[in-house]
Structure 1
Amino acid sequence: MELANWVPDDVDTGLPSAARLYDYLLGGGHNFAGDRALGEQFLKAQPNARAIARLNRAFLRRAVLFMIDNGIRQFLDLGSGIPTVGNVHEVARRAAPESRVVYVDFEDIAVAHSRMMLADDPLATIVQQDLTEPEVVLEAALGTGLVDRAEPLGVLAVGVFHFVPPERHPEAVVAAYRDAVVPGSHLALSQFTADLQPVEMAGIVEVMKKSMNPMFPRTLAEITGLFAGFDVVEPGVVPLPLWRPEGLSDDDPAKAGILGGVGRKR
């Protein structure tokens, strides 16, 4: 899909973005030539990239349904990206129609398309903010009227924290969201790691230096550390195919590329 009437006039569509790259890897149509070119380089570095994107999307679905089963009815989706099939509000509403969702992203095209898609939805919206500024994000989310600070909140950081550089102190960012929500709130988080397929991951890091979103993989210990203050539910922080799979799968956990888990605030 090239320039459309929902693309802001001042957006440089020639500069690839992580949101549109992810859309391309998922088989979506909200990406441009530069994103697709970067995507092909990404696939050369990591031939399993389309499967990894699919696994991440499937983890999001299972995490949302797990939260629904545990009483969560409001969600904050950090770094939500391009709205492709299987968005949080779609997944949540099938299980609990009253679910409310606030998406968060700073990428202009992701925000513009989300606003168009959600224009007539009273229970879902998007705010254009930087997820590494939790106080600003939470204020904007509360301002939508869709988040009640007195109720448990499902915070989703799925496939996004590998774009947060060390100097932005990702552990402090997560801690700020944790401290702002009531006990019983949940965190779902997944991110790329070099613990699995380190050669391929090094190639991905080099590829993403050509985009507006460089990548910072983390170790299992570092990712587990982001859940400080949460009780991590079984099976813990694991390669995504191993997180509460539904039925049999042919996906090799050693090639998953991403680790993830879900925690509950004490």
Structure 2
Amino acid sequence: MAAPEISATLDFTRPVALSLNALLHFVTDDSVDGDEGIVEHLKNVLPSGSTLTITHVTPDFDPDGIARLTGAHRAAGTPGQARLHAEIAQFFAVWDLLNPGVVPPQRLRPGPDDGAENITDAEAACYAGIARKP
């Protein structure tokens, strides 16, 4: 975070939007520093008013299908880890989680004509959430 390229791009005296979409499921618990260490570090350096957006695969709706998916990733040499709702929600700890909370993405901000009502939770296979740093 101290790299000159970052400080030349981001003004850490103003809120920053941090997007960790479809990323954290490639950081396993046994990775160096682990997922919470990385996320907590990023959260700690951001100023008040910043936002954090996360989407993350979950086995909650289709455990067998997600086990096959993560197994295929591992077999190809790509680490992967699906997480349960409570584990994903923990990434937002001590920040103000915006409504509707940690939900399947089609329920996060559905538009009137986006077809979100036709997507099942098992098809989405992930959760999404947005939080603001107090």
The alignment's TM-score, normalised by the length of structure 1, stands at: 0.46
Query: 8 Å contact 1:220–1:259 — kept in the other structure?
Result: yes
Instruction: Tell me the residue number matched to 2:20.
Output: 157
- Could you list the per-position Cα deviations for residues 215-260 of structure 1 after superposition, in whole angstroms to 9, with x for gaps in the alignment? 1000000000011121110010001111111124221123211111
Instruction: Tell me the residue number matched to 1:202.
Output: 67
Q: What is the aligned-residue identity percentage?
A: 27
Q: Which has the higher contact order (CA 8 A, sep 6+)?
A: 2
Instruction: Tell me the residue number matched to 1:225.
Output: 90
The whole-number CA distance in structure 1 between the counterparts of 2:50 and 2:74 is: 35
Compute the displacement of 1:213 (Å): 1.8
- Could you list the per-position Cα deviations for residues 18-72 of structure 1 after superposition, in whole angstroms to 9, with x for gaps in the alignment? xxxxxxxxxxxxxxxxxxxxxxxxxxxxxxxxxxxxxxxxxxxxxxxxxxxxxxx
Compute the displacement of 1:171 (Å): 1.5
Kindly provide the amino acid, as one letter, of the partner of residue 265 in structure 1. Answer: K
The whole-number CA distance in structure 2 between the counterparts of 1:150 and 1:142 is: 16
Instruction: Tell me the residue number matched to 2:124.
Output: 256
Instruction: Tell me the residue number matched to 2:133.
Output: 265
Instruction: Tell me the residue number matched to 2:38.
Output: 173
The alignment's TM-score, normalised by the length of structure 2, stands at: 0.89
Compute the displacement of 1:144 (Å): 5.7
The whole-number CA distance in structure 1 between the counterparts of 2:69 and 2:42 is: 29
Where 1:156 maps in the other structure, the secondary structure is strand
Where 1:167 maps in the other structure, the secondary structure is coil
- Residue 140, structure 1, aligned to residue 30, structure 2: no
Q: Give 1 or 2 for the bigger CA radius of gyration.
A: 1
- Could you list the per-position Cα deviations for residues 111-156 of structure 1 after superposition, in whole angstroms to 9, with x for gaps in the alignment? xxxxxxxxxxxxxxxxxxxxxxxxxxx2237546111111100000
- Residue 236, structure 1, aligned to residue 104, structure 2: no
Compute the displacement of 1:209 (Å): 1.2
Instruction: Tell me the residue number matched to 1:106.
Output: none
Structure 2 gaps of 5+ residues are none
Query: 8 Å contact 1:178–1:229 — kept in the other structure?
Result: no
Where 1:151 maps in the other structure, the secondary structure is coil
Q: How does 1:1-266 map to 2 (within 5 A)?
A: 138-140=1-3, 142-143=5-6, 145-168=8-31, 169-248=34-113, 249=115, 250-266=118-134
The whole-number CA distance in structure 1 between the counterparts of 2:91 and 2:23 is: 13
Which structure's residues are more often helix, by fraction? 1
Where 1:188 maps in the other structure, the secondary structure is strand
Corresponding residue pairs, total: 129
